[in-house]
Amino acid sequence: MKNKTLKMLLISILAISMFLVGCNSKTNKQADDSKKPADSSAPAKDTLVYGRGGDSVSLDPITTTEGETFKVTINIFETLLNYGEQDTTIHPGLAEKWKVSDDGLQYTFHLRQGVKFHDGTDFNADAVIYNFNRWMNGNEKQFPYYTMFGGFKKDKGHVIKEIKALDDHTVQFILKRPQAPFLKNLAMSMFGIASPAALKKYGDDFRKNPVGTGPFKFVEWKANDRIVIEKNPDYWDKSLPKLNKIIFRVIPENTARLNALANGEIDVMDGLNNSDEATVLANDKLQIIERPSMNIGYIGLTTTRKPLDNKLVRQAINHAIDKKTIIDAFYGGKALPAKNPMPPSIEGYNDAIEDYPYDLEKAKALLKEAGLEKGFTIDLWAMPVARPYMPEAQKVAEVIQESLSKINIKANIKSVDWATYLDKANKGEFDMFMLGWTGDNGDPDNFIYTLLDKDSIGSNNYAQYSNDKLHDILIEAQTIADQEKRNELYKKAQEIVHEDAPWVPLVHSTPLLAASKDVVNYLPHPTGSECLSKVEFK
């Protein structure tokens, strides 16, 4: 008898645990009414929890080009100039006013007065000079400074000749030669002005103890878990920030992050899958926020490899790819088909260019002209990681494979881990490959020169494309100050690129964010990082 009771007891315990491990649709329905978030102990809403896919690499913005770093540091540090709220036009930052000499060699900045760093020290001309000296006397391993200003102080190509303080609140930059995107460069998050006192105090550990002038102060960083920043009570704009605290949480998986948002554990998330948009729209507690596009996803056609060294073959491939189908299927319609190597939001975009239409007959004719009407076999490399401009590379590759087979090109889809991928692409070891780029400073130079000039072979010109005429135009455009004239040059450059077809420009995608409905004034910036000082809960 005793045995039997025990038996029943054990069986019921196990049955219950099995039941709990599995899932039961009946309880789901019942529970809908009594649903409440697990973290119900949240205090009054002035703390924003921001869920994102990866951790920052460093909190010293000059030490990295990693976007996850800037999402945080843009709130802690300020730059001399700011971008517009949702574009890359230039606005006052730590510099209230500025003047550029006619020859484009002299930039004078009048600094905001009464600004203090979080450690209580004063922001002034000396602090600006201290920061620039730190950066330009560094090396490639320390600071990616050189990518925007032509090298370091010791290098011939370095743009800045001298920086001097005219008085306590006026700084003057003297350039060796005009650099058209100079102001736009200064607005990049990377060039946030740090407290000289804190830099001296922390040394190498400054990357874990950031001190700037921004609306938020650094509180704590638990690697791969969270970064906490709180309101700077002494911020020069007394009306800001609206929030008391921001917690940046790392939740690597996009769907899990959306689950956390739906459960109220986080208030905002980036990196929403396009395919999850419908789920968010169906939830009346959530909203979708669209980030303005400043990227390009493309198929590189390595111009040094046979048969892609033949322009006709590259043009034929351009005719054979149906961008609209790809956008509808994998970007949820949230992307523009690309025809140029830069997005239309960038000045100098050439809208007069007509894209290669999706036309298989034309493609076949071009292949015939190239003597390849019987087709050929080629490798198509698909990115192993998801990026806003290429969320589902493998599937896009399959569509392209299918299209190419219709013009007798047999594409073998291949992939390899990300580090190896970049390395092999860099060395020109791929035939066709998928890649993309998100702009740094909103300047056309940052797309066309960086991605397609012959100078960039070995860094970002993965297609190994070289055209001397293009090179001359791009170099000229770098050194003239008149934006109208520059725009004309970039339009011409885009014509050359279009004709030579080193890529199939694929899409300019719109990255999506999702947030709880009560989050207001969240304005995502095209560069991928935005200051959250105006964000609040309604």
Q: Which amino acid is at 224?
A: N
Q: Which DSSP symbol is given to 252?
A: -
Q: Which of residues 144-183 bind another protein (CB under 8 A)?
A: 144, 146-147
- Nearer Cβ to another protein, position 147 or 275? 147
Does 352 participate in binding another protein (rule CB under 8 A)?
A: no
Least gap, CB of 251 to another protein (angstroms)? 4
Does 44 participate in binding another protein (rule CB under 8 A)?
A: no
Q: Looking up tokens 């056609």, which residue turns up?
A: 301
Structure tokens at 200: 């001296």
432 CB contacts (<8 Å, ≥6 apart)? 299, 300, 301, 302, 308, 317, 378, 379, 380, 381, 411
Among residues 110, 208, 311, 454, the one that binds another protein under rule CB under 8 A: 208
Query: Is 338 within 8 Å of 323 (Cβ atoms)?
Result: yes
Query: Is 378 within 8 Å of 407 (Cβ atoms)?
Result: no
Q: Which of residues 439-468 bind another protein (CB under 8 A)?
A: 440, 450, 458-460
Among residues 76, 262, 346, 474, the one that binds another protein under rule CB under 8 A: 262
Only one of the segments 390-398, 401-409, 417-425, 505-513 lies at the binding site for another protein (rule: CB under 8 A); that segment is 417-425
- Nearer Cβ to another protein, position 58 or 315? 58
Least gap, CB of 386 to another protein (angstroms)? 13
Among residues 199, 422, 480, 496, the one that binds another protein under rule CB under 8 A: 422
- Nearer Cβ to another protein, position 156 or 238? 156
Q: Which DSSP symbol is given to 123?
A: P
- Nearer Cβ to another protein, position 250 or 342? 250
Among residues 31, 354, 361, 468, the one that binds another protein under rule CB under 8 A: 31
Only one of the segments 58-66, 81-89, 479-487, 512-520 lies at the binding site for another protein (rule: CB under 8 A); that segment is 58-66
307: preceding bond cis by omega (within 30 degrees): yes
Among residues 97, 200, 222, 306, the one that binds another protein under rule CB under 8 A: 222
Does 276 participate in binding another protein (rule CB under 8 A)?
A: no
Structure tokens at 98: 């500025």
Does 223 participate in binding another protein (rule CB under 8 A)?
A: yes
- Nearer Cβ to another protein, position 146 or 356? 146
Least gap, CB of 123 to another protein (angstroms)? 27
Query: Is 168 within 8 Å of 125 (Cβ atoms)?
Result: yes
Query: Is 330 within 8 Å of 276 (Cβ atoms)?
Result: no
Does 203 participate in binding another protein (rule CB under 8 A)?
A: no
Phi and psi angles of residue 239, each rounded to the nearest 5 degrees, phi first: -80, -5
Q: Diameter of the chain by CA atoms?
A: 102
Among residues 113, 263, 377, 479, the one that binds another protein under rule CB under 8 A: 263
Task: Give the DSSP H or E segment for 513.
Answer: strand 512-516
CA dihedral for 12, 17, 20, 24, sign (positive or negative): negative
Query: Is 380 within 8 Å of 432 (Cβ atoms)?
Result: yes
Does 420 participate in binding another protein (rule CB under 8 A)?
A: yes
Least gap, CB of 201 to another protein (angstroms)? 18
241: preceding bond cis by omega (within 30 degrees): yes
Does 19 participate in binding another protein (rule CB under 8 A)?
A: no
Does 377 participate in binding another protein (rule CB under 8 A)?
A: no
Q: Give the total residue count for the chain.
A: 538
Does 518 participate in binding another protein (rule CB under 8 A)?
A: no
How is 26-84 classified by DSSP, letter by letter? Answer: HHHHHHTTT---S-TT--SS-EEEEEESS--S-SSGGG---HHHHHHHHHH---SEEE-
Does 5 participate in binding another protein (rule CB under 8 A)?
A: no
Q: Which of residues 230-249 bind another protein (CB under 8 A)?
A: 247, 249
Among residues 96, 167, 423, 499, the one that binds another protein under rule CB under 8 A: 423
Only one of the segments 116-124, 216-224, 292-300, 329-337 lies at the binding site for another protein (rule: CB under 8 A); that segment is 216-224
- Nearer Cβ to another protein, position 57 or 100? 57
Among residues 71, 184, 257, 339, the one that binds another protein under rule CB under 8 A: 257
Does 475 participate in binding another protein (rule CB under 8 A)?
A: no
Q: What dihedral angle (degrees, nearest 10) is formed by the CA atoms of 341, 342, 347, 350?
A: 40
The CA R_g of the chain, rounded to the nearest whole Å, is 26
Q: Which amino acid is at 48?
A: L
Query: Is 200 within 8 Å of 208 (Cβ atoms)?
Result: no
Q: Looking up tokens 């401009």, which residue turns up?
A: 389
Phi and psi angles of residue 216, each rounded to the nearest 5 degrees, phi first: -125, 150
Does 419 participate in binding another protein (rule CB under 8 A)?
A: yes
Does 96 participate in binding another protein (rule CB under 8 A)?
A: no
Among residues 226, 305, 334, 492, the one that binds another protein under rule CB under 8 A: 226
Does 217 participate in binding another protein (rule CB under 8 A)?
A: no
Say whether 105 sits in a helix, a strand or coil. coil
Least gap, CB of 95 to another protein (angstroms)? 25
Q: Which DSSP symbol is given to 504?
A: E
Among residues 437, 465, 503, 522, the one that binds another protein under rule CB under 8 A: 437
Say whether 54 sits in a helix, a strand or coil. coil
